[in-house]
Structure 1
Amino acid sequence: MWWAAFLAAHAVDLVAVFLLADESTAEAFRRVFYANCVSAGLTAIAAVAALVLMRRIDRWQDGRPAIR
Protein backbone atom coordinates (compact mmCIF):
# COMPACT_ATOMS: atom_id res chain seq x y z
CA MET A 1 0.00 0.00 0.00
CA TRP A 2 2.77 2.42 0.85
CA TRP A 3 4.47 1.81 -2.47
CA ALA A 4 1.26 2.42 -4.45
CA ALA A 5 0.54 5.65 -2.56
CA PHE A 6 4.14 6.78 -3.07
CA LEU A 7 3.98 6.15 -6.82
CA ALA A 8 0.55 7.79 -7.10
CA ALA A 9 1.86 10.90 -5.33
CA HIS A 10 4.72 11.19 -7.79
CA ALA A 11 2.40 10.59 -10.73
CA VAL A 12 0.19 13.47 -9.54
CA ASP A 13 3.30 15.64 -9.22
CA LEU A 14 4.35 14.81 -12.77
CA VAL A 15 0.90 15.68 -14.08
CA ALA A 16 1.00 18.98 -12.21
CA VAL A 17 4.44 19.86 -13.52
CA PHE A 18 4.10 18.81 -17.14
CA LEU A 19 0.44 19.33 -17.97
CA LEU A 20 -0.92 21.96 -15.60
CA ALA A 21 2.09 24.25 -15.20
CA ASP A 22 2.30 25.25 -18.88
CA GLU A 23 -0.24 28.03 -18.43
CA SER A 24 0.23 31.22 -16.42
CA THR A 25 -3.38 31.86 -15.49
CA ALA A 26 -4.93 31.97 -12.06
CA GLU A 27 -6.96 28.85 -12.92
CA ALA A 28 -3.79 26.94 -13.83
CA PHE A 29 -2.19 27.89 -10.53
CA ARG A 30 -5.33 26.79 -8.70
CA ARG A 31 -5.22 23.40 -10.44
CA VAL A 32 -1.52 23.01 -9.56
CA PHE A 33 -2.34 23.88 -5.95
CA TYR A 34 -5.06 21.21 -5.80
CA ALA A 35 -2.76 18.66 -7.45
CA ASN A 36 -0.08 19.43 -4.87
CA CYS A 37 -2.62 18.99 -2.05
CA VAL A 38 -3.59 15.58 -3.43
CA SER A 39 0.09 14.67 -3.73
CA ALA A 40 0.76 15.72 -0.14
CA GLY A 41 -2.17 13.63 1.07
CA LEU A 42 -0.93 10.59 -0.83
CA THR A 43 2.56 11.13 0.58
CA ALA A 44 1.12 11.23 4.10
CA ILE A 45 -0.76 7.98 3.43
CA ALA A 46 2.45 6.41 2.13
CA ALA A 47 4.35 7.54 5.25
CA VAL A 48 1.75 6.11 7.63
CA ALA A 49 1.62 2.84 5.68
CA ALA A 50 5.43 2.58 5.78
CA LEU A 51 5.40 3.15 9.54
CA VAL A 52 2.78 0.43 9.98
CA LEU A 53 4.90 -1.92 7.89
CA MET A 54 8.03 -1.16 9.93
CA ARG A 55 6.14 -1.75 13.15
CA ARG A 56 4.86 -5.12 11.91
CA ILE A 57 8.37 -6.16 10.92
CA ASP A 58 9.69 -5.06 14.31
CA ARG A 59 7.05 -7.10 16.13
CA TRP A 60 7.77 -10.09 13.90
CA GLN A 61 11.50 -9.86 14.63
CA ASP A 62 10.95 -9.44 18.38
CA GLY A 63 8.90 -12.65 18.45
CA ARG A 64 11.67 -14.76 16.92
CA PRO A 65 14.34 -16.41 19.02
CA ALA A 66 17.77 -14.79 18.89
CA ILE A 67 20.38 -16.50 16.72
CA ARG A 68 23.62 -17.06 18.56
Structure 2
Amino acid sequence: VYTDDAATKLTDRIHPQCFNCSCQDTSTWRRSSLSPGKILCNKCGLYERTHCRSRPLRFSSAKA
Protein backbone atom coordinates (compact mmCIF):
# COMPACT_ATOMS: atom_id res chain seq x y z
CA VAL A 1 0.00 0.00 0.00
CA TYR A 2 1.33 3.44 -0.94
CA THR A 3 0.37 6.84 0.45
CA ASP A 4 1.13 10.48 -0.40
CA ASP A 5 -0.21 11.75 2.95
CA ALA A 6 2.51 13.09 5.25
CA ALA A 7 0.41 12.42 8.37
CA THR A 8 0.15 8.68 7.69
CA LYS A 9 2.48 6.60 9.83
CA LEU A 10 4.73 4.52 7.57
CA THR A 11 4.96 0.80 8.37
CA ASP A 12 6.15 -2.39 6.71
CA ARG A 13 2.94 -2.39 4.67
CA ILE A 14 2.49 1.36 4.05
CA HIS A 15 5.14 3.03 1.88
CA PRO A 16 5.54 6.65 0.72
CA GLN A 17 4.62 7.77 -2.80
CA CYS A 18 5.25 11.17 -4.38
CA PHE A 19 2.07 13.27 -4.55
CA ASN A 20 3.20 14.83 -7.85
CA CYS A 21 4.86 12.10 -9.95
CA SER A 22 3.84 8.93 -8.03
CA CYS A 23 7.50 7.92 -7.62
CA GLN A 24 7.98 5.34 -4.86
CA ASP A 25 11.78 5.38 -4.55
CA THR A 26 13.88 8.46 -3.77
CA SER A 27 16.87 9.44 -1.68
CA THR A 28 14.83 11.92 0.41
CA TRP A 29 11.14 12.56 1.02
CA ARG A 30 10.04 16.21 1.31
CA ARG A 31 6.85 17.91 2.49
CA SER A 32 4.97 20.00 -0.05
CA SER A 33 4.49 23.68 0.72
CA LEU A 34 1.93 24.11 -2.08
CA SER A 35 -0.16 21.11 -0.99
CA PRO A 36 0.12 20.97 2.81
CA GLY A 37 0.02 17.46 4.21
CA LYS A 38 1.39 15.84 1.06
CA ILE A 39 4.84 14.34 0.48
CA LEU A 40 7.09 14.71 -2.54
CA CYS A 41 10.13 12.88 -3.86
CA ASN A 42 13.44 14.74 -3.75
CA LYS A 43 13.23 15.91 -7.39
CA CYS A 44 9.69 17.26 -7.11
CA GLY A 45 10.37 18.80 -3.70
CA LEU A 46 13.45 20.68 -4.88
CA TYR A 47 11.66 21.84 -8.04
CA GLU A 48 8.69 23.10 -6.01
CA ARG A 49 10.95 24.97 -3.59
CA THR A 50 13.00 26.55 -6.42
CA HIS A 51 10.17 27.44 -8.85
CA CYS A 52 7.21 27.87 -6.44
CA ARG A 53 5.09 25.50 -8.50
CA SER A 54 4.72 21.77 -9.04
CA ARG A 55 7.25 19.97 -11.19
CA PRO A 56 5.82 19.29 -14.68
CA LEU A 57 5.19 15.60 -15.29
CA ARG A 58 7.02 15.77 -18.62
CA PHE A 59 10.24 15.82 -16.54
CA SER A 60 9.16 12.65 -14.77
CA SER A 61 10.14 9.19 -15.89
CA ALA A 62 7.79 7.60 -13.33
CA LYS A 63 4.65 8.29 -15.40
CA ALA A 64 4.97 7.53 -19.08
Q: TM-score range by the shorter chain?
A: under 0.3
Q: TM-score, normalised by structure 1?
A: 0.26
Q: TM-score, normalised by structure 2?
A: 0.27
Determine which structure has more spread, i.e. the larger CA radius of gyration.
Answer: 1
Q: Which has the higher contact order (CA 8 A, sep 6+)?
A: 1
